[in-house]
Each structure stands twice: as C-alpha cells, then as structure tokens.
C-alpha cells in the first residue's frame, strides 16, 4: 500500500509523540513502584534518604508479599496498553495497515525520553512520593498512637481480668479441696471410733471371763 510522504511524516510524528506520552506514563507508574519495594531501596535521591533516616528505621518497612505480583501485572498491563496504542494509531492514521515506522518511532521516543528527561522526572516523582508519604505519615501517626494506647490499655485490662479469674479459680479449687478433705475425715472418724469401741468391748469381755 502506497502512502504519501506527508502522511508518512504525520504518522511518524504522531508515533513519536505517542511514544513520549507512553514514556511519561511509565515514569508515573514508577511512583507506584516506590511503595512496593523495600524501605531502604525506595528512594535514590540522597536528600530524601537523609530525611527518611531520622523517621523510619532500617528494615521497618519490608517488601510486600504481593508487591512482585503487582509489579508483574503492571508491566503486562503497560505492554498491552502500548500494543493497543500502536493498533489504534495505525487504524486511525493508516487505515489499519501495518507500518514499521510507527513502532520504530514510538520506541525511539521512549528511548530518547529515558536517556534525557526521565532522570529529572523520576527525581521530581520521588519528591512527590516522599511528600505524599510524609503527609500520610503525619495524618496517621496520631491515630496509630491512639490505637496503640487503646490496645495497650485493653491488653492490661484483659490481663488483670485473667489474673482475677485465675485467683478466683484457685480460691474455689482450694475451698473445694478443703471441703473434700473435711468430708473424707468426717467419713473416716465414725468408722475409726466404732472400731475402737468394738475392740474396747471385746477386751472388757475377755477380762470378765478371765476373772
């Protein structure tokens, strides 16, 4: 299928701009990656690392168990978006006919973005992610401390109640043991008294016969 030079130029220019847009989208998705990797590896800007060092201990935020799955799905979804974008671009600008110039220009724009402006954008995104994290941390810290205080108080109350129940159980067990012992003694004393009386009567009769 023949195509005019102006249409080919328009297709290449549109593909290049779409490639830049996809590269920018990928960098914005990078901010999501920042919250799915370990705390120590999260930021690369030295100033942010210094600011976070005083607030978050090393290893305090571990990697999410589902983080790798989310990152994999994110990459797959991004690849699907790129493929669908190429198809739609060719459909609108070239009547659906495949032109190698479209994906080549998109890949060139993507690569050019990542060797030029991507680093600055990622630094800005790291600062943005750090700002959002700081705001969330400031908002949630009082709530976290309140919940920790309430949890500690509930734990102490539960421990006191448990100790009180154990003490009551010990008292009841001791009381029952004493009562059982007293019953056993009361049951044994009459038998012992009767046997002693019978022995005494037998000895008295033997003494009378002897006399």
What one-character DSSP code corresponds to residue 61? S
Whole-angstrom distance, CA of residue 207 vs CA of residue 200: 11
pLDDT digits (tens, 9 = 90+) for 75-100: 888 889 888 988 888 888 777 777 78
pLDDT digits (tens, 9 = 90+) for 129-185: 777 877 887 888 888 888 888 888 888 888 888 888 888 888 887 777 777 776 766
Whole-angstrom distance, CA of residue 112 vs CA of residue 101: 16
Length of the chain measured in residues? 211
- Buried b vs exposed e over 22-38: b needs ≥16 C-beta within 10 Å? bbeebbeeeeebbebbe
Residue 58 has pLDDT above 50, yes or no: no
In the chain, domain spans: 5-141
Half-sphere exposure of 164 (CA within 13 A, CB side): 6
pLDDT digits (tens, 9 = 90+) for 188-208: 666 555 455 555 555 555 555
Q: Residue 80 has what pLDDT?
A: 92
Whole-angstrom distance, CA of residue 195 vs CA of residue 190: 9
CA angle 117, 118, 119 (to 5 degrees): 95
Whole-angstrom distance, CA of residue 125 vs CA of residue 134: 14
Neighbours of 70 (CB within 10 A): 14
Residue 61 has pLDDT above 60, yes or no: no
Whole-angstrom distance, CA of residue 72 vs CA of residue 32: 12
What is the overall mean pLDDT for the chain? 74
3-class DSSP assignment, residue 75: helix
Q: Residue 98 has what pLDDT?
A: 78
Q: Residue 95 has what pLDDT?
A: 76
């Amino acid at each position: 299928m023949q195509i005019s030079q102006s249409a080919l130029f328009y297709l290449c220019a549109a593909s290049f701009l779409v490639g830049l847009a996809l590269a920018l989208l990928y960098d914005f998705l990078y901010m999501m990656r920042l919250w799915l990797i370990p705390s120590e590896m999260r930021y690369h800007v030295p100033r942010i690392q210094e600011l976070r060092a005083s607030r978050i201990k090393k290893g305090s935020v571990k990697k999410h168990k589902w983080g790798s799955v989310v990152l994999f799905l994110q990459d797959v979804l991004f690849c699907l978006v790129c493929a669908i974008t190429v198809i739609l671009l060719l459909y609108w600008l070239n009547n659906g006919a495949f032109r190698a110039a479209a994906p080549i220009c998109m890949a060139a724009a993507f690569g050019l973005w990542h060797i030029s402006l991507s680093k600055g954008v990622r630094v800005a995104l790291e600062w943005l992610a750090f700002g959002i994290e700081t705001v969330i941390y400031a908002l949630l810290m009082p709530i976290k401390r309140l919940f920790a205080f309430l949890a500690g108080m509930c734990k102490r109350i539960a421990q006191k109640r448990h100790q009180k129940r154990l003490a009551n159980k010990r008292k009841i067990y001791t009381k029952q043991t004493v009562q059982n012992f007293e019953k056993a003694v009361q049951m044994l004393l009459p038998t012992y008294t009767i046997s002693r009386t019978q022995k005494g009567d037998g000895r008295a009769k033997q003494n009378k016969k002897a006399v």
